[in-house]
């Protein structure tokens, strides 16, 4: 195990390498940290290489998820506070999250670690305070669990059908008791925590009983198949986001600073456009006029075709009526023949031969 850890250490360090921070983040960290409540899921657009791998696998910008547990005094159970104090050496006023991190396992971390990242809040709708404490209790019980790198590759094999190996063959995703594993990833740990209180994320809904029964039954999804984007997609979680420049909070969107003296780099020009490149009002008006003319021409053409079809139908109907008059109806009863005059006239009295005299 020591040799394996020695070999894995540089790989993990390479995967955890972070790219440069954006000059201006996409989200307002100050507003997000004041909005957070216990058991909110913080979605993060990570900047590490492993985040790039997860984004590729899940086809979502959200590569990481953390469970917000509040400050130390927000945790109700004194035993849980003691465990948190053992695993975290910061001040009691720090805002804390529980997360699974590559190379560190399941840890407690300060929310301040994401002050420069693009984040979003995913809040479980209607979760009771009692259940929220149970969710936190489960998450804290997982502290110290190793990060399951293999699960990332198993998830890739499950999501991408072009992998050579079958989905179930030698895969860790389909174990009967996924909660019994000593390894986990961020979204799996959080999914298990909400499953602990039967709170749905993306459950399977099926009819229960007979076909005429209107009742339904929910089935909890395998937490090992959960990804950070599931909390964004789930109808049972409320999405809260605070953009860095929020026109609902700061100014009207029409007053946003689109124009200035800033220049795009060569790489940025492939992704973003200069405000001067947007179409002018004249171009849009011309496109609308062409669309109106095209629709009118098409309508006229369709009208002419319908008129021609109507005339042909009238002619066909008249021809059918004439043909019906000329040909006898086979279903009609046969007519009796008229009396024809005889070619021989009736015999007169002189023609009648009398008896011999």
Query: What is d(CA 49, CA 288) in angstroms, rounded to the nearest whole number?
Result: 46
Q: Are 121 and 241 in contact (CB under 8 A)?
A: yes
Each residue's pLDDT tens digit, 202-226: 998 887 766 666 678 888 888 878 8
**DSSP-derived 3-state class of residue 34:** helix
- pLDDT computed for residue 225 by the predictor: 80
Q: What radius of gyration, in Å, describes the C-alpha atoms of the chain? A: 41
Rounded CA-CA distance 348/352 in Å is 7
Of 131, 146, 116, the residue nearest 32 (C-alpha): 116
Q: Which residue blocks in 196-280 are alpha helix, DSSP H?
A: 228-233, 266-269
**Torsion of Cα atoms, 308 then 311 then 312 then 315, to 10°:** -170
- CB–CB of 65/190 below 8 Å? yes
**pLDDT of the residue at 311:** 65
pLDDT at 332 exceeding the cut of 90: no
**Smallest Cα–Cα separation from 65: which of 204, 192, 242?**
192
**CA neighbor of 182 nearest in space, from 151, 218, 158, 219:** 151
Buried b (16+ CB within 10 A) or exposed e, 206-240: eeeeeeeeeeeeeebbebbbbbbbbbbebebbeee
Closest CA to 140 of 205, 87, 209, 214: 87
Q: 121, 240 in Cβ contact below 8 A?
A: yes
What the chain holds in terms of domains, given with CATH numbers, is: 2-254 (3.90.1720.10)
Which pLDDT value is given to residue 274? Answer: 72
List the 64-70 sheet strands across, edge first.
Answer: 105-110, 96-101, 64-70, 41-45, 118-124, 237-240
Across the chain, how many H-helices and E-strands are there? 10, 10
Q: What is the pLDDT of residues 57-107, one digit of tens each?
A: 778 888 899 999 999 999 999 999 999 999 999 999 999 999 987 777 889
What is the C-alpha to C-alpha distance for residues 232 and 328, in angstroms, rounded to an integer?
76
Q: For the whole prediction, is pTM greater than 0.85?
A: no
User: Could you report the per-residue pLDDT of 109-157, keeping only the tens digit for each?
Assistant: 999 999 999 999 999 999 999 999 999 999 999 888 876 655 455 545 5
pLDDT at 180: 46
């Amino acid at each position: 195990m020591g040799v394996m850890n020695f070999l894995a250490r540089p790989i993990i360090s390479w995967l955890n390498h972070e790219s440069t921070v954006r000059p201006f983040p996409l989200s307002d960290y100050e507003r997000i940290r004041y909005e957070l409540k216990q058991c909110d899921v913080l979605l993060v657009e990570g900047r590490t290489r492993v985040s790039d791998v997860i984004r590729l696998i899940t086809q979502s910008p959200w590569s990481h998820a953390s469970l917000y547990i509040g400050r130390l005094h927000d945790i109700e159970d004194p035993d849980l506070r003691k465990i948190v104090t053992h695993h975290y050496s910061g001040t009691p006023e720090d805002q804390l999250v529980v997360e699974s991190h590559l190379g560190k396992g399941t840890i407690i971390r300060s929310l301040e670690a994401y002050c420069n990242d693009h984040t979003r809040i995913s809040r479980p709708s209607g979760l009771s305070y009692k259940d929220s404490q149970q969710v936190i209790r489960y998450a804290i019980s997982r502290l110290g669990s190793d990060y399951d790198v293999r699960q990332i590759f198993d998830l890739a094999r499950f999501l991408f059908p072009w992998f050579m190996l079958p989905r179930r063959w030698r895969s860790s995703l389909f174990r009967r008791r996924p909660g019994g594993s000593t390894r986990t990833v961020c979204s799996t740990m959080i999914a298990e925590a909400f499953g602990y209180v039967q709170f749905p994320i993306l459950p399977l809904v099926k009819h229960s009983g007979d076909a005429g029964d209107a009742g339904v039954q929910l089935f909890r999804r395998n937490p090992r198949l959960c990804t950070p984007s599931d909390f964004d997609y789930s109808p049972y979680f409320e999405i809260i986001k605070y953009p860095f420049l929020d026109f609902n909070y700061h100014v009207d969107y029409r007053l946003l600073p689109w124009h200035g003296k800033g220049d795009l780099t060569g790489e940025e020009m492939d992704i973003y456009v200069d405000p001067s490149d947007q179409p002018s009002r004249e171009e849009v008006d011309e496109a609308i006029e062409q669309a109106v003319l095209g629709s009118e021409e098409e309508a006229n053409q369709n009208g002419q075709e319908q008129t021609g079809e109507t005339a042909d139908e009238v002619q066909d109907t008249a021809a059918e009526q004439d043909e019906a008059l000329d040909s006898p109806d086979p279903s009609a009863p046969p007519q009796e023949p008229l009396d024809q005059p005889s070619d021989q006239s009736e015999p007169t009295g002189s023609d009648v031969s009398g008896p011999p005299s």
